[in-house]
């Protein structure tokens, strides 16, 4: 995270929002405020309409929604390190600061003066079958047949270690430290401080009980070879169904998204755990 010491010029701005009541109202306020203070092009977009490549022309993106909205934006940006201001409007907002009580005009003035921090959130890269993707939270590899155990071969190379082993179970999750609070946490992984760069390897329902989550060096290269048909997900999006023995490579290549922070310190652990309280009728 670093402090912005100069004003940034944003030529094209997009307000991407979740199409529900309060989020729509908030998006309208930000849209009008941005039009008032910036001479830039400002456009509003439903998050459902965001596709890979559709955000390439924007220098600044205002994300209004929950974590799903931001993950969708990140997915569509790919390896572009765009500036994104997360404005919370959802039940799960791990990526967001508590900006609810701050008027949009005050936030926009901070953007104009450069009075904010930039939080560089690392992504992980996954390649297979000549295809290339980036994940902000996690890459999930799951068996295509949940009635049968999947055997997965895992090879890990780091500057200090080389190891190989097999996991038998429903699959494997490879997450960033930021993504440790998502699916990996549900699968028994630990919450990791977001600024500690690396890759968390978490088995999903393993049969071999001696296998536990492993947090690896940020320069690690991980090779996954499932011995059965699998589905691969990037940040919750079903990307492909892979045949047996497809080799999947995962690493952290210094690709990131730049989240704008106005300096409000967050209680991340509390936010993560409170969002997972059981809902009763």
7 with 78, same domain?
yes
The tally of domains found in the chain comes to 2
Q: Where are the beta strands (DSSP E) in 89-242?
A: 117-122, 124-128, 131-135, 138-143, 150-157, 162-169, 171-175, 199-204, 214-216, 221-226, 230-234, 237-242
Q: Is the pLDDT of residue 148 over 50?
A: yes
At residue 90, the 3 state secondary structure works out as coil
Is 145 known to be catalytic? Answer: no
Q: Is the pLDDT of residue 5 over 50?
A: no
Confidence of residue 273 (pLDDT cuts 50, 70, 90): confident
CATH number for position 108: 3.40.50.10330
CATH number for position 131: 2.60.200.30
- Distance between CA atoms of residues 277 and 256, nearest Å: 30
CB atoms under 10 Å from CB of 101, counted, come to 5
Within a domain: 238: yes
State the residue range of the domain holding 66. 2-122+256-274
Task: Read off the pLDDT of residues 65-92 as tens digits, 9 standing for 90 and up.
Answer: 989 999 999 999 999 989 999 999 877 7
What is the edge-to-edge ordering of all strands in the sheet holding 117-122? 2-3, 117-122, 256-261, 83-88, 60-65, 12-17, 41-46
Q: Which of 67, 119, 170, 235 is catalytic?
A: 67
150 with 226, same domain?
yes
Within a domain: 279: no
118 with 128, same domain?
no
Instruction: Give me the pLDDT at residue 257, please.
Output: 94
The pTM assigned to this predicted structure is 0.89
């Amino acid at each position: 995270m670093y402090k912005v010491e100069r004003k940034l010029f944003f030529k094209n701005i997009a307000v991407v929002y979740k199409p529900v009541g309060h989020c729509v109202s908030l998006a309208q306020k930000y849209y009008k405020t941005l039009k008032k203070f910036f001479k830039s092009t400002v456009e509003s977009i439903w998050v459902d309409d965001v596709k890979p490549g559709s955000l390439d022309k924007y220098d600044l993106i205002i994300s209004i929604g929950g974590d799903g909205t931001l993950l969708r934006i990140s997915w569509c940006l790919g390896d572009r390190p765009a500036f994104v201001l997360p404005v919370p409007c959802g039940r799960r907002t791990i990526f967001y600061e508590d900006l609810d009580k701050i008027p949009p005009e005050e936030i926009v003035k901070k953007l104009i003066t450069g009075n904010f921090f930039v939080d560089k959130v690392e992504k992980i890269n996954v390649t297979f079958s000549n295809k290339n993707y980036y994940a902000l939270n996690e890459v999930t590899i799951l068996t295509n047949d949940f009635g049968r155990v999947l055997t997965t071969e895992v090879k890990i190379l780091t500057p200090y270690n080389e190891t190989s082993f097999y996991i038998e179970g429903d699959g494997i999750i490879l997450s960033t430290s930021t993504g440790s609070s998502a699916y990996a946490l549900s699968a028994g992984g630990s919450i990791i401080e977001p600024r500690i760069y690396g890759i968390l390897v978490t088995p999903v329902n393993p049969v071999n009980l001696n296998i536990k989550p492993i947090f690896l060096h940020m320069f690690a290269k991980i090779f996954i070879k499932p011995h059965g048909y699998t589905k691969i997900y990037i940040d919750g999006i079903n990307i492909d169904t892979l045949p047996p023995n497809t080799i999947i490579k995962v690493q952290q290549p210094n690709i990131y998204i730049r989240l704008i922070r106005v300096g409000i310190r967050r209680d991340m652990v509390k936010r993560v755990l409170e969002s997972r309280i059981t809902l009763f009728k």
